[in-house]
Amino acid sequence: MVSAITSRKNYPSKKVMLIRKEKKAIVPCGIPYVFDRLKSVDENIMSDQPLLDNEVDLIIEEVEEIKADERFILLKNGDEIVYEKLILALGSKADIIPIPGADKKGIWLVKKDYDYLKALRESVLKSKKVAIVGGGFIGVEFAEELSRIKELEVSIIEKADHCLNTNFDEEFSQKVEERLKKSGVKIITGKTIKMIGGDEKVEYLEFEDQEKMPVDLIIFSIGAKPNIELAKKSGIEISKEGSIITDEYLRTNLSDIFAVGDCSQSKDFIMDKNISIMLASVAANEGRIAASNLYHLELLKENKGTLGVFSTSICGLTLGVAGLTESRAKEQKIDYITGESEVVNRHPGVLPGAEKIKTKLIFSKSCENLLLGGEVMGPESAGEILNIIALAIQKKASVFDFNTWQIATHPLLTPPPTAYHLIAAAQSALMKINKVKTVE
Amino acid sequence: MVSAITSRKNYPSKKVMLIRKEKKAIVPCGIPYVFDRLKSVDENIMSDQPLLDNEVDLIIEEVEEIKADERFILLKNGDEIVYEKLILALGSKADIIPIPGADKKGIWLVKKDYDYLKALRESVLKSKKVAIVGGGFIGVEFAEELSRIKELEVSIIEKADHCLNTNFDEEFSQKVEERLKKSGVKIITGKTIKMIGGDEKVEYLEFEDQEKMPVDLIIFSIGAKPNIELAKKSGIEISKEGSIITDEYLRTNLSDIFAVGDCSQSKDFIMDKNISIMLASVAANEGRIAASNLYHLELLKENKGTLGVFSTSICGLTLGVAGLTESRAKEQKIDYITGESEVVNRHPGVLPGAEKIKTKLIFSKSCENLLLGGEVMGPESAGEILNIIALAIQKKASVFDFNTWQIATHPLLTPPPTAYHLIAAAQSALMKINKVKTVE
């Protein structure tokens, strides 16, 4: 959708067509909320109005193959569509662990499919004990939403030591687990599932340590794999990790064919390696870049590397992370320094609505003290604080930039000007840097 | 406080002393909220704990004179205090219009004084009709807070056409007026007061057009003037506008004397001229810069010019502005282009807590399409969205940077990735730029 609309805006003289197999498109990030907050899957439909408003032609059909040499697309219904430029936004599909019993009834994935989600919702509402396998973003969001359903027992099973382990440092993920537990979610970490038992329908889970756990519905949220079948059979180059290979303008190896979103890989913003981050915001950004560079490359719109910027809201706690965490920095042997702060989003702190905001920033120790990453946790505004961190990383802000950064503070909106979260965190890093200097 | 604490952190071997005449320091930005939300002035005291924690000596006394040649300060009680470095943070005092009757009882200013504010609070709670003269930030914040007091009639009198007229474009200030009116505040704009009538105590206001308005208490919130008496008599250079003159490191003309906050003037971030912005956040930033440069100048901590970044919250609507508005850009004959968006902070927009966010960005048309200013209006998170705009201006972001800016979005926190407020606004500006290009 972003590619289509941006194409129209950038090249108003061109005809733009969107081919999609689904009659109704789902808002992907909204899926966890169809169970309670949205009350139905129908409330989570992405409107086609923006397409109509921007005069994008919409075709509901599946693509059979891309004939790149002859520049046309073959649809399943036999129709052929010629193109000048083609953007592939093939998405990804939910993964499952290939363990015995994984084909039983009552085992579900998180699919972006209207009918499937309707059936999943009905099934969940009829269940008593639901297990969510995988404690990443989707897993914890599902767990919170399902914990709102009366008399439903909800468990998360995560093989790592903590939920959200890949994305957050421990002090942040622990808080999420605390909140989930308070909401009645059972959290099982550090355990691996061996098999799923039951007759036709799932009845229990069995862990590697022989422990059994009764369940009547399992949702797998262990990750996703790029949809590359169409690209592969059409001669588009695929990486050994299984994503479409693109350059910084999102161009594939075939001329005039671009690939964006979950189906394509990208270069990491901070380190020189390829990564595959499957996020709607990354996809939207790639869609904008590809659509801006369709007919002529504009240097300013290249993709400078993908930065992982993730936010979520669990039981009223907002969490966000951009770029490197401390544990990732350690793992990658990066010379870093951290800055931390814990302040209240009101001043004086007794004003109504006061909540703590915790931030942690990671600066490079050797490279001009540039910001490499940040984590934030607190009230709803933490979602936008995270986007400040994301902008600062992308505009190459250093710890010194934070020291002279001019901001607005307000009693009902932010911490006081004397202790604004990100500046306070940067100053705590600066103290360490100055101490290092003095010692030298 | 910021200067003192930052000095200690930067120069841990030095003794730092804070001299202040007030026994209890007030949180300046919290003053409007002492009437209802904070329930008392005592809840709006700035704690001295951070001073104690950082081993800053606190002296409660008034300064008589600075003997700059001999490097000592003379206190009112006769004590002399020697210094190596001196930072003046003298603040400002509320202004009043010199009209007949302005000396009557029942006429108040917004003073940062504990006893005065306690008396004002008691007086307001006993009143029936309060008029607030001046519809700037303090005026509208007072009006909202007082409108929460049962059976109190509250009016704002603003001589310009709209409240917040100096800071916001009309479409933003109109929304504030709408909200205030809904809360029962009477808004009188475009009218000037000629005199204040009554015996000893104020009884009515008379406008230039002879119209009279009965009131029993008046609060003036028409602006403030720098406190410069002490600096003046100590030989420190004052600008013709009446502020202490400082360089980019906040140094005055006298060696080893710095001046920060409301008492000093600064250079505008965008245009080459001196301005006097009296904001706690500006003061805190200047305090940090001065204290970082006391003993040796660090080029990275200079003040690159002061950017006005203002936020407020009126009747549940958060508003923010940074840098140039459209009307200011017009006035200054700057070649600009605007980008606007109006989106909802949830996706899908039917999720609980959905509210509109309106943004307006001003980009330079001639100078690399750099961001020069922005306005935002919406839910509480707009306070941090404003700080994104502020960072973008300071890190010299262009409309193209927004086009490739990588952000996080979440159903419960932000608009969808396809329509994130600031990117959507930048794209609407980009459309205009592309159109201009095509026409050429």
pLDDT in tens, chain A (440 residues): 999 999 998 888 999 999 999 999 999 999 999 999 999 999 999 999 999 999 999 999 999 999 999 999 999 999 999 999 999 999 999 998 899 999 999 999 999 999 999 999 999 999 999 999 999 999 999 999 999 999 999 999 999 999 999 999 999 999 999 999 999 999 999 999 999 999 999 999 999 999 999 999 999 999 999 999 999 999 999 999 999 999 989 999 999 999 999 999 888 888 878 877 899 999 999 999 999 889 987 665 666 788 999 999 999 999 999 999 999 999 999 999 999 999 999 999 999 999 999 999 999 998 899 999 999 999 999 999 999 999 999 999 999 999 889 999 999 999 999 999 999 999 999 989 877 665 54
Q: Which among A27, A313, A395 is the nearest to B395, CB-wise?
A: A395
Q: What is the pLDDT of residues B224-266, one digit of tens each?
A: 999 999 999 999 999 999 999 999 899 999 999 999 999 998 8
Judging by DSSP bridges, how do beta strands B356-364 and A309-314 pair with one another?
unpaired
Judging by DSSP bridges, how do beta strands B204-207 and B212-214 pair with one another?
antiparallel
State the best of B301, B369, B412 to mutate against chain A, taking most chain A CBs within 10 Å.
Answer: B412
Q: Can you list the domains of chain B with their CATH numbers?
A: 96-222 (3.50.50.60), 316-439 (3.30.390.30)
The reply to whether residue B348 touches residue A398, judged by beta carbons under 8 angstroms, is no
CA distance A199 to A217: 13
Per DSSP, the residues of A285-351 read HHHHHHHHSSSS--GGGS---B--EEEEEETTEEEEEEE--HHHHHHTT--EEEEEEEEESSSSTTS
CA-to-CA separations, A347 to A354, A419, B33, B34, B49, in angstroms, rounded: 8, 10, 10, 12, 15
Q: Which among B6, B30, B401 is the nearest to A347, CB-wise?
A: B30
Please give the structure tokens belonging to residue B7: 């000095």
State the best of B38, B407, B428 to mutate against chain A, taking most chain A CBs within 10 Å.
Answer: B407
- B chain contacts of residue A384, beta-carbon cutoff 8 Å: 381, 384-385, 388, 413-414
Q: How far is B171 from chain A (nearest CA, A)?
A: 21
- B chain contacts of residue A282, beta-carbon cutoff 8 Å: 406
For residue B416, the chain A residue with the least C-alpha distance is: A281
The reply to whether residue A311 touches residue B431, judged by beta carbons under 8 angstroms, is no
Cβ atoms of A209 and A191 within 8 Å: the answer is yes
The reply to whether residue B285 touches residue A401, judged by beta carbons under 8 angstroms, is no
Q: Which among A351, A408, A416 is the nearest to B386, CB-wise?
A: A408
B305 backbone φψ class: left, alpha, beta (φ>0; ψ -120 to 50): left
